[in-house]
């Protein structure tokens, strides 16, 4: 089902390399965490409203799966973080790492599904993902340095997008299931952007968020 999988896998590999670069440059990037997250939030929210939702409507995707993706991620986060509140601080690094792995694995899987729909859209989707990889790697690097087996966890996390892309090529989906996975991925992206990336109250940098919106919209118009 996945068309031209080699090119899609190259995108996954490049994103994994970006994550490794983020870990290497973490002392410098950590200072710009707010700027990177604000910019990538603007890019992703524009991509969602300008491209992914219109595609979902055009191709008659099941919007129930978009809702399910949003609800599933919210439920998973609440279950994990509220189940053992007394261990929260001690396990915070592992929880953040596990959550990051799951999100990136699904993003890698979704990237391959999107590539089958529209390769150009997959390249656009990879832009904010790369920025998020840089920001997240810088944020997680400091946490993992204090965690047992932190070096191994860094390697696993850096490979998470590529592993998701590989899973999409191994477990080839029929068109109906691929549409549902695509719709589910849109719902998860909405949750991630709204809950974890959109600057709240005094947090974030508005000018970087607006730059992300303007830059991605210009790219969409430019590439049709």
DSSP characters over 90-103: HHHHHHHHHHHHHH
Cβ–Cβ < 8 Å for 136, 25: no
Residue 3's pLDDT is 46
Cβ–Cβ < 8 Å for 142, 93: no
pLDDT tens, position by position, 156-198: 777 888 888 888 877 766 778 878 888 888 888 888 788 767 7
Q: Is the pLDDT of residue 214 over 90?
A: yes
Burial label for 197, CB within 10 Å (0-12, 13-18, 19+), is buried
C-alpha closest to that of 12 among 114, 146, 135, 112:
112
Looking at the chain, the whole-number percentage of residues with pLDDT higher than 90 is: 6
Looking at the chain, the whole-number percentage of residues with pLDDT higher than 70 is: 75
Cβ–Cβ < 8 Å for 56, 186: yes
**3-state class (DSSP) for residue 175:** helix
Domain locations in the chain as residue ranges: 5-22+32-223
Cβ–Cβ < 8 Å for 19, 186: no
pLDDT tens, position by position, 73-125: 888 777 766 665 555 444 555 656 676 777 778 778 878 877 877 788 788 77
Cβ–Cβ < 8 Å for 36, 135: yes
Give the C-alpha separation, 122 to 103, whole Å: 17
| DSSP labels, 56-81 | HHHTT--HHHHHHHHHHHHHHHHHHH
Give the C-alpha separation, 97 to 159, whole Å: 13
Secondary structure percentages of the chain, helix, strand, coil, to 5: 85, 0, 15
């Amino acid at each position: 089902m996945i068309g031209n999988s080699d090119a899609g896998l190259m995108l996954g590999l490049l994103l994994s390399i970006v994550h490794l670069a983020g870990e290497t440059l973490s002392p410098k990037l950590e200072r710009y965490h707010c700027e990177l997250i604000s910019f990538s939030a603007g890019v992703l929210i524009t991509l969602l409203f300008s491209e992914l939702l219109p595609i979902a409507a055009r191709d008659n995707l099941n919007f129930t799966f978009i809702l399910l993706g949003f609800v599933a991620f919210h439920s998973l986060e609440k279950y994990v973080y509220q189940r053992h509140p007394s261990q929260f601080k001690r396990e915070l690094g592992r929880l953040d790492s596990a959550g990051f792995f799951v999100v990136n694995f699904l993003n890698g899987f979704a990237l391959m599904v999107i590539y089958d729909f529209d390769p150009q859209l997959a390249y656009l989707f990879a832009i904010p993902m790369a920025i998020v990889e840089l920001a997240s790697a810088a944020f997680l690097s400091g946490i993992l340095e204090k965690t047992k087996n932190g070096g191994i966890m860094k390697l696993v996390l850096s490979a998470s997008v590529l592993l998701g892309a590989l899973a999409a090529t191994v477990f080839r989906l029929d068109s109906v299931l691929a549409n549902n996975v695509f719709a589910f991925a849109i719902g998860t992206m909405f949750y991630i952007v709204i809950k974890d990336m959109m600057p709240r109250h005094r947090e974030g940098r508005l000018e970087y968020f607006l730059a992300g919106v303007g830059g991605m919209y210009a790219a969409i118009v430019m590439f049709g």
